[in-house]
Structure 1
């Protein structure tokens, strides 16, 4: 896990996607509400934890697992809403507070603590990272002091520097959408151009004139790369409807199933839906921005319905 905490500053992006993910709100039950209404409200307000994933899942390749988590980490870094030394501290505290309960859920199975190629551990550590992001993002800071290595640049004095968030993204409500896009861009770049001496062989962007059939075929190729690297047992594009510009994605046994389901239940402002981030990044790189998707999870996997912009 030391690799994931390595401090690496990247240049600020000149252009950021401005769409944001809206947060769901719950209406309190009225005084006339029935017992059934109250039970429904409580089940939505305080949902039960997802069931553990007890069937065998694939082992992830180390470079692929690092790419997924590193992409999210660097997106947080670039958005400048929290000092990264504080983020790492909050990340550590959250996973330390929830690790034992997670382990008990999976008994007699044993997550290989510290091994992110192990699907049981990856599911938990990825959840912990995104749960921390989701908790800190709504209260994001505009200006803060951040720890730095003195040799990094001249702005680092006494091992701290002052960081100011770009005024164009001062509204915390835009951060979830930006994070989704920036994380997806990093994942896609790593898969198509290589990451830390590993070539994944993902398809390059298509021209905007490419047919819908070619677009969905290359999305399937992207999913095949993910499966090859242990992300899921199976992932396929189905129900392709060119007239409606829609298709579905079905993923069996993804390595993030428990964590994604947990984050959805908690109504987190960001979730670790890596494949959705990747597909969106590929579509934007291929001249097809504005795609919409709906995601649901079940006991065995993920289902998504995608609709491309006209």
Structure 2
């Protein structure tokens, strides 16, 4: 309990340096300082510098002190909201009112859903554990992990988060009026949020049920194959990617197609994570056989109809059937 309270306090306090700095240079003054003028002229560069010092360095130091890099997982759901409001409130911001309002509403809903899922998965405990991939890398790098973690956990996350949030900057850099493609982008974002919510909820129920069965000594279910998981092996990943690609459509619609680099790199990285997750699943003896069959029958990301699994060929049966056909002819 004491550790959870300590982690909650840390989580609340860590963004204060960025918040205080931001409010200091956006505060209207009659004689702006050279620093505030420079910040006003370089919104993207300032966002990267704040991320470097407040997240990469501060989170890294805290993670090493606690021997647990859990903060970045929690802030994955918060940093996009902070970036959106940074771009929206920046002195250089200009935007169509409707597009800006929709982007704010969608991002808050996305963040609330993902934060709820994160805390629910962790049993409503702050800093209960770090991502299993970080834990594995800790073992792989050994003594070098204290400095390798800066690049593997934090600097890489800066590239991903700043990249996929670029459409939020684009939305607040033009007054181009709301159009039909904005409607498409909105629908894609909403669909992604809804799909990810139901997929994560179904997975949570599956895990919770298995934990209860294990406690009473009953057999657990090897593979999740109900609901959306019947049509996709990773519907939660699909929903999350649909959200980011829907957000990109806003940027594409207002003449910033190059921002595709953000969701594209994120999708490629999530593809690699998918491979790691599935390798981990087939290494578990109690579910390896069932999961391999699940892989053969079910689409990886995009929900689709299940494939029929061919029955193993039995030469003896085939010969008998042929003999019967010959005898009846």
> Which structure shows the bigger proportion of residues in strand conformation?
1
Bigger-Rg structure (1/2): 2
Shorter-chain TM band: under 0.3
- TM-score calculated relative to the size of structure 1: 0.25
- TM-score calculated relative to the size of structure 2: 0.24
> Which structure shows the bigger proportion of residues in helix conformation?
2
